[in-house]
Structure 1
Amino acid sequence: MIVPPPSELVPAEKLGRVHFVGIGGAGLSGIARIMIARGITVTGSDAKDSRTLTALRALGATCYVGHDPAYVADVDTVVVSTAIKENNPEVVEARRRGLLLYSRAAALSAVMEGRRVAAVSGAHGKTTTSSMLAVALQHCGADPSFAIGGNFNDTGTNAHDGTGDIFVVEADESDRAFLQYSPEVAVVTNVDPDHLDMYESPEDYHRAFDAFVDRIVPGGCLVACVDDPGARRLAEASRARGVDVHTYGEAEDADIRIEDVHQQPLSSSFEVVVQGRREGTIDVHVAGRHHTWNAAAAYAAGLALGFPSGELREGLSSYAGTRRRFEYKGMVGGVRVYDDYGHHPTEMLVNLRAARGAAGEGRVVVCFRPLRHTRTQFFYRELGEALGLADEVVVMDPTGDDPIPGVTGALIIPHIPLPPERIVYERSWSAAPVRVAERVRPGDLVLTLGAPDVALVGPEVLELVGDRLAAESEPGAH
């Protein structure tokens, strides 16, 4: 559902009592946390109960399971998730009552009002980069507000209402939400066309990032990765238009250069060079070489905000990761399980490379659940090709939006460059953990990849492997 931007943005403190339709989602739950911290009365509803709703209730929100028009009877403003349909009874009732109706982007703009905004966008790496930046700024002694798309591993939260004047936001391009923000520092990690159900073409997607740069406030700047062709084009075009541009990457012409990368299975380090001057080392304690770019982006944004190099580097080296970003889930019988949100072919490639490095001599066994039928329809060939980096693959059906006739996980199967006996198409969610567990052996690394609910497969695989080992160790077992 697309809610048009309000003609005049009302600051959060003037929204009155606020009700969130879809409050359990990553975007709305973070905004709700911030509003609660500011003393705003918050209610919300979601299709099912969750740990997120339990946490919001503990903070003081009233959260309902299911949707009912009565839930908006005593509120002033209704914030609506993009996943909510036009015929949702609470939305219908809010329109009938003439209540102020806000999209996620408008509500986020309302809580950012009056702050110095650092907005992190790009097709991939937004969550990690924005959370790295928030951690680095905290280490510098700032107390930034932040709203990101994933929970920190150490705190379990995705949002915070800080006492400082900086607001770090993950600026999502999927529904053009980032075009409602006015950043002082705009970070673009990459421009790799996605969400082609929302955008008319790859060119339209690129134009949206041009428009995002136009949102930078006077005196602000663009931070962009010159190793990515799309972000490089954006940086060059923006600089030609007079925008202050700070580039980063491994390329020789990067303003902030990544050098001497040392890659380990679950971490990496690199030397950061600013305008030819060596500043020192940044240690990245998350798996995958791609996170060196994310750390460099956060470092560049921190410098642009005026923070010192040494403290930024120390802060980035203390970063402990976010949920569903190559998140370790456990190990049983020599079988390790990780989970990642990667759902676009480019993200899958970098995560599978990280898994390959972390697996060592073991095999990589992947359980992939495509996120969105529309993305599967556009990218089924590329999704299959990416899965070819694994040794064994279990593919499930897409989820996250309305079904499209003929668009299932089966579309991906013919494009996975592996022998047929190493590929399984499993339509039953409950059977997927069994299919994974029966294929693994000691030393293997299991990676659950894609849609949110595939994260639940990993713990079941660990339990099944444990049960199998216990049965094999019983007297008389063969």
Structure 2
Amino acid sequence: MMNRKMKRLRTVHFVGMGGSGMSGIAEVMIGLGYKIQGSDIRMSEQLERLKALGAKVFLSHLPDNIKKADALVVSSAISSNNCEVVEAKKKMLPVVARAEMLAELMRFYYSIAVSGTHGKTTTTSLISTLLAEGGLDPTYIIGGCLKSSNSHAKLGLGEYLVAEADESDASFTHLKPMISILTNIDFDHMSTYEHDKNKLYSGFLSFLHNLPFYGLAIVCLDDPGVKEVMPKISRSVITYGTTDKADIYAKDIHFSESKTSFEVYRKNKNKKISVELNLPGIHNIQNALAAIAVATELDIDDKSIIEAFKNFSGINRRFQVTKNVTVKDGKITLIDDYGHHPTEILATINAIKSGWGSKRITLLFQPHRYTRTRELFSEFVEVLSQVDQLILTEIYAAGEEKIDNISGQSIIEDIKNKSSKRPIFVRSLQESVDVINRTVKNGEILLLMGAGDIGSFVNDLPDLLDS
């Protein structure tokens, strides 16, 4: 039901509506009774879903698109020179950032916001799943597609809203939740913070201090960046991690392919929980512990926590495993992951090694953004040397201009100069098919990673491989 405080807002136009964060907000607002329309440059699954739900979709940016709009919500990927934005300002219409619109929705709920450089989508998904299993029927807005609902978002009937807090443009400081989670702090999107570590840390602290004085910060004690800011957090704090110094911690950890089991101890509870999780890796144990901290705070019973994890079906492109993919030499395991930062790549590689032992790993990686590649060049070189075979594409620009001497080929050359590895450069994803056909053998693992169009390529790949 439309909130009466926002009833003057009848028709809302989303500029860049196909983005994962934008489409989720749009879907929730459709459910609340708002008339939603939006523009983007190409059709996508998210836009098809919104269209089926009643949204009007424009596949171009034109001033005429907004003639019936009461307000514009603008993706961070959209320039201030966009013709729809310019037209809205001429007409004196409100133009708000995605995070500002999310903040307005959150005001009407008991809101839970998940921040951190890595793990936001998985943690938000796990929290939403635990709240649903606990009978709280939450509203959620997630940066990935939750398999159980086949959607980025859902309008629940309960009082809770769970959402990601995006630090990439510092817009997460608009949000004012009741519970904030901080998974980790790493160096990414540093141009937003003027390449200053202290400004990055200050951004996360500002987000945490948007909590009311009676709010709760749930933070990962395993992370060095989090530990550095902890003494400055002036709100109630619960810690989680794999160390017994944390308030909520995991012990007796066992990995088996994509499944993980562990015991959870909570310092304010005498009873431990035995958890089975359909996700691999230490980083996903940490994500699960954050969700358990929220569930415990909201008095969700242990049985519901255990059942939620056991039945969790995952998120698209977050360690998505396809077994028995046919190649010329037999069967391989295909793993697809959205990770595109060196820390995420290393966590995924380590998760595979923990779950699958010494099986040979081939990584097909598509770097994402020239600026990120430049800022983390040496880290990329180091982590991409950790696999048995690397196939590297050209950088996916994501709208950025090329930067001199920063390319897929320059990464390849630096790896060759600093190790005995012999990575393979391909000019296109299509070109990688021949390399995979020639080099990936029966029983091996093929890992695809990146945030660009490799995400759609993975759907076609099994049919392109020799069988």
Task: Give the structure-1-normalised TM-score.
Answer: 0.91
* Contact 1:286-1:320 within 8 A present in 2 as well: no
Does residue 380 in structure 1 map to residue 377 in structure 2? yes
Q: Distance in 2 between matches of 1:453 and 1:329?
A: 19
Is 2:153 aligned against 1:159? yes
CA distance in 2, matches of 1:196, 1:307: 38
Contact 1:190–1:228 (8 Å) recurs in 2? yes
The equivalent residue for 2:208 is 213
Aligned residue in 1 for 2:282 = 289
What corresponds to 2:430 in structure 1?
430
| Offset of residue 237 of structure 1 | 2.7
Q: Tell me, in whole angstroms, the C-alpha distance in 1 between the residues paired with 2:437 and 2:393.
A: 15
* Range that drifts further, 276-285 or 173-182: 276-285
Query: Aligned runs of 1:36-435 on 2, under 5 Å?
Result: 36-200=30-194, 201-238=196-233, 241=234, 243-275=235-267, 277-329=270-322, 331-332=325-326, 333-399=330-396, 400-406=398-404, 407-416=406-415, 419-421=420-422, 423-435=423-435
Which deviates further from its counterpart, 409-418 or 224-233? 409-418
* Distance in 1 between residues matched to 2:214 and 2:306, nearest whole Å: 25
**Contact 2:111–2:177 (CA under 8 A) maintained in structure 1:** yes
Tell me the matched-pair count.
455
Checking the alignment, whether the CA contact within 8 Å between 1:12 and 1:111 is kept in structure 2 is no
Report SS of the residue matched to 1:260: strand
Deviates more, 1:56-65 or 1:386-395: 386-395
Equivalents in 2 of 1:11, 1:351: separation in Å? Answer: 44
Percent of aligned positions that are identical: 34
Amino acid paired to 1:271: E
After TM superposition, give the deviation of residue 451 of structure 1 in Å. Answer: 1.7
Native 8 Å contact 2:181 2:217 kept in 1: yes
On the 8 A contact 2:335/2:445 being kept in 1, the answer is yes
Partner of 1:35: 29
CA gap 1:137/1:228 in 2 versus in 1, 3 angstroms: same
State the distance in 2 between where 1:373 and 1:144 align. 38
SS at structure 2 position matched to 1:430: helix
Find the aligned partners of 2:261 and 2:56 in 1 and give their Cα distance: 45
Structure 2: distance between partners of 1:452 and 1:143: 33
| CA–CA separation in structure 2 for the residues paired with 1:38 and 1:27 | 17
Deviation at 1:404, TM superposition (A): 2.9
> SS of the residue aligned with 1:168?
strand
How far did residue 353 of structure 1 move? 1.4
Q: Which amino acid aligns with 2:399?
A: D
The offset of 1:176, in angstroms, is 1.0
1:367 counterpart SS class:
strand
Q: What SS does structure 1 have at the residue aligned with 2:58?
A: strand
User: Deviations 1:327-357 (Å, cap 9, x if unpaired)?
Assistant: 1245113122111011111111011112334
Q: Which moved more, 1:323-332 or 1:339-348?
A: 323-332
User: Given that residues 362 and 387 in structure 2 are in contact (C-alpha distance below 8 angstroms), is that contact kept between their aligned partners in structure 1?
Assistant: yes
Matched residue SS, 2:140: strand
Kept in 2, the 8 Å contact 1:284–1:319? The answer is: yes
CA gap 1:453/1:358 in 2 versus in 1, 3 angstroms:
farther
In structure 2, give the amino acid aligned to 1:367.
Answer: L
Offset at residue 11 of structure 1 (A):
5.3
Q: Which moved more, 1:145-154 or 1:429-438?
A: 429-438
Mapped to 2, the partners of 1:336 and 1:221 lie a distance apart of 41
| CA spacing shift, 1:420–1:58, aligned 2, 3 Å | same
CA RMSD of aligned residues (A): 1.9
Match of 1:440 in 2: 440
Per the TM alignment, residue 367 of structure 1 is displaced from its structure 2 partner at its CA by 1.0
CA deviation profile, 1:407-442 (whole Å, cap 9, x unmatched): 221232234365453x11222343233333332111
Question: CA distance change for structure 1 residues 82 and 373 in 2, over 3 Å: closer, same or farther?
Answer: same
Aligned to 1:7: none
Amino acid at match of 1:245: V
Deviation above 4 Å: which 4+ runs of structure 1? 10-13, 358-361
Q: Which runs of 5+ in 1 are unaligned?
A: 1-9, 470-478
Task: Answer yes or no: is the 8 Å Cα contact 2:255–2:355 preserved in 1.
Answer: no
Q: Secondary structure at the match of 1:334?
A: strand
- Quick check: 229-238 or 261-270, which moved more? 229-238
Q: Is the 8 A contact 2:127 2:295 kept in 1?
A: yes
Q: Is the 8 A contact 1:361 1:443 kept in 2?
A: no
Give the aligned residue type for 1:28: M
Q: Is the 8 A contact 2:11 2:70 kept in 1?
A: yes
Separation in structure 1 between the aligned mates of residue 281 and residue 143 of structure 2, nearest angstrom: 19
The answer to whether the 8 A contact 1:437-1:461 is kept is no
Shift in alpha-carbon separation, 1:14–1:302, aligned structure 2, 3 A: farther
Q: Distance in 2 between matches of 1:444 and 1:320?
A: 24
- Secondary structure of residue in 2 paired with 1:375: helix
After superposition, the Cα gap between the structure-2 partners of 1:411 and 1:204, relative to the gap in structure 1 and judged at 3 Å, is farther
2:313 maps to a residue whose letter is A
Deviates further, 308-317 or 38-47: 308-317
Aligned residues of 2:362 and 2:447 also touching (Cα < 8 A): yes
SS of residue matched to 2:181: strand
TM-score when normalising by structure 2: 0.93
Whether the 8 Å contact between 1:139 and 1:315 is mirrored in structure 2 is yes
